[in-house]
Amino acid sequence: MEYEREVTGLVLTIDVGNSNTTIGLFRQDGTLVFRSVLPTYKSATQDQWAIQLLDVFRLHGASVADTSGIMISSVVPPVTAAICGAAEFVAGKKPMVMGPGVKTGLNIKSDLHAQLGSDIVAFSVAAIARYPSPLIVIDMGTAITMSLLQGNSYEGCIIMPGVRVAVEALSQAAAELPHISIKAPESLLGHNTVNAMRSGVVYGNASMIDGMIDRIEADSGMSIASIIATGTAVPDILKHCRHSIVYNADLLLDGLFLIYQKNQALRHRRM
């Protein structure tokens, strides 16, 4: 995506996940300037993260000096302090971090609000703002989560092992089962070990998602208006699901941007 040098007041958003860290830069109107995905190195120092952030800006031809604000979500505590320090060091702005005190506008129906991951909160805010309700959001990363949202209320979620986690666990636990890539085989019934595993992974996960959507509808008594999916493992599975599911790779970053804007607006009203 082409970067315009004269644009200022950009918002840097960072999502630290267990496997990947996703970085996005937004204009004030919500246009995504660039999106970059890095591995989450849990032992990386503040300086190492700073170097990576600067490299990402250089890769996309953007100027870090144009950043007016930073919003960070992290579900990896060992990384949080280092990446917050790195972002502040390179951009010269103290980041806002998802957590207590950050206003989201989301009514969370949970026994303990703190147990709901900041990533789930962020993509829920974006989904509510962008899609008809009631809706289901499927996040397929290290874990698979399925969240039910109605209006501005977070009704609850389901957490399952992620696609890659399940595949690696199967290969490690069974000595004769190889490590495989995630792609659909030519037929449902495999005629060799690799294709049999691929069928189980792809069609098995697609069937699980379809089945859980049906169960959510039956249990909630709601007629679901939208089903949205995000996460790195989604495209290979989604096309084999029977339900109509919209894929939005930038849902979480979009949520971080919206939450940042909301909190900035509230702060300005108090001044």
Q: Which residues are catalytic?
A: 119
Separation of CA 36 from chain center: 13
DSSP state of 174: S
| SS3 category, 20 | strand
- With tokens 């996703």, the residue in question is 22
Return the H-helix or E-strand segment holding 77: helix 77-91
Beta partners for residue 11, in sequence order = 26, 69
C-alpha closest to that of 15 among 44, 45, 43, 35: 35
Task: Tell how many helices (H) and how many strands (E) occur in the chain.
Answer: 7, 11
